[in-house]
Amino acid sequence: MNYKSLVIIVLSIATIEVSIAQVNATVVDDFKISATTQEGKQYPQVNSQGMLRVQITAPEAKSVKLDIGGKKYDLVKDSKGVWTGESAPQDEGFHYYQLNIDGADVPDPGSMYYYGASRWGSGIEVPAKDQDFYALKNVAHGQVREHIYFSKINNTMRRCFVYTPPGYDGSNKRYPVLYLQHGGGENETGWSSQGHANLIMDNLIAEGKATPFIIVMDNGTWTRPVQSAAVTQEQREKGEWPPKGWADQFSKTLIGEIIPMIDATYRTVAKQSHRAMAGLSMGGMQTRVITLANPDIFAYVGMFSGGSINADDIKNAPQFKEKTKLLFVSYGSHELDNRREGFGGDPKANTESLQKEGLKTHFYISPSTAHEWQSWRRSLNEFAPLIFK
C-alpha cells in the first residue's frame, strides 16, 4: 500500500466518524435498562431524552429496523453482526413497538410482552417525571385475581381480572365497585399490566387519597359467540341478533351477567350509589353508551380519551343528569392539539356546558401525552379520588 492510498483511507474513516457524530449530535448517551426489559437482558434501553435504543444479534441480516410510534428507524450493524439503533424521543410512559428483520415484523426478544394493537408484542416504558404514582412501593397491596366464568349470553368461557383493595381478606367490610374497560385492540389484561391500575390504587389508598374500592376489568371486545347456534329463532325475529355493535353486546354481558356475578361473589355494596364505570378509548365510548342508558346502575362515569357527553345527549337520556354523581372526561394534551372529527365536538366545552345543566363534571388534561397509556394511568389517578366520596 502506498502513501496516497493510506491518506485516502484515513480521510475516509475521518469522514465516516464525522457523519456518525453529526447524526448522533443530539443523542444524550445515558441509556439505561427499562422497567419493561426482561430480567437479565441488556436491551431495550431508554435515555433521558426518551429515546429507545434496541440491540439484536443478526449476523446474516441485510436490514434491521425499530418500529415505534408509526415510524421505522434503521439499526446499524457492527463487525460482529450486532445491530443497534435508536428511535426519536418518545413521550413519557408506555408504548408498543416491534422490530423488523429483513422484512419480518417480530417482537424484540429483550422486552416484556403486552396485549395491544390486537397482538401480544413488545412494550417499552419511558420513565416519566411523575412515575412515582404507579411505582411498586413497600405499602399495603391489594390483589389482582384472575376470575374465570361461563357466560350464558356469549355461550363461552370468559375471564375478568378483579382488583380487591388491601385489607379485603380478613375483614367483613363491603366495597364499592368500578367497572374499568380497556381500549380497542387491547384486552382484560391491559389495565393491571401496562396500566398498573392496582399499583395506582395501592398508592392512593396508602396516602389516604382514595376510598378503597374493587375494580373489575373484563374484556369489552365484541366477538361473535363461538356457537351462533345458541341464538334462538325468536331472538333473530325480534332483531336481537346480530347485536348492533360492540357497546350493545358488551352492555348485555356487563349488565346481564358480570355485575350480578360480581355482586354475588365479592363483598360489594350492590347499589347504584356504589357503582362506577370508566374506560379508555373504545372503553370510554362503551362507558358513554352504557351509562347514558343505565343511570339506575352507575353513579360515577369516567371517559378517558373516548368521546364526551353534551347537552343534547343528556336530553335524550332520562334521569342521567339527576342520578349521575360525577361525569369525568379526560384527554392527553396531544390528542386535543391534534383533535380529529368524531370525538363529538369539543370535549372540554361539552363537559363544562353540562355544569350549567346542574351535572357535576370534571375535565382533566394529561400534560404532554397522546392517545397512550400514560394519559390513562393519570386519568385513573385523577378519577379514583373523586368517586365514592
List contacts with its own copies (CB under 8 A). 38, 40-41, 56-64, 81, 98-99, 101-107, 109, 112-113, 118-121, 136-138, 141, 143-150, 157, 162, 169-170, 192, 198, 265-266
Q: Tell me the torsion sign for CA atoms 300, 306, 309, 310.
A: positive
Torsion from C-alpha of 333, 334, 338, 342, nearest 10 degrees: -60
* Cα–chain center distance at 180: 11
Select 38 or 211, whichever has its Cβ closest to its own copies: 38
| Whole-number Å distance between alpha carbons of 291 and 249 | 14
Select 1 or 104, whichever has its Cβ closest to its own copies: 104
CA atoms within 13 A on the CB side of 367: 3
| Whole-number Å distance between alpha carbons of 211 and 281 | 25
Backbone angles phi, psi at 336, to 5 degrees: -70, -35
Could you give the 3-state DSSP secondary structure of residue 217? Answer: strand
Select 150 or 296, whichever has its Cβ closest to its own copies: 150
In angstroms, give the least distance from the CB of 56 to its own copies: 5
Select 201 or 329, whichever has its Cβ closest to its own copies: 201
In angstroms, give the least distance from the CB of 169 to its own copies: 6
In angstroms, give the least distance from the CB of 309 to its own copies: 32
Backbone angles phi, psi at 93, to 5 degrees: 115, -155
In angstroms, give the least distance from the CB of 290 to its own copies: 24
Select 191 or 364, whichever has its Cβ closest to its own copies: 191
In angstroms, give the least distance from the CB of 268 to its own copies: 11
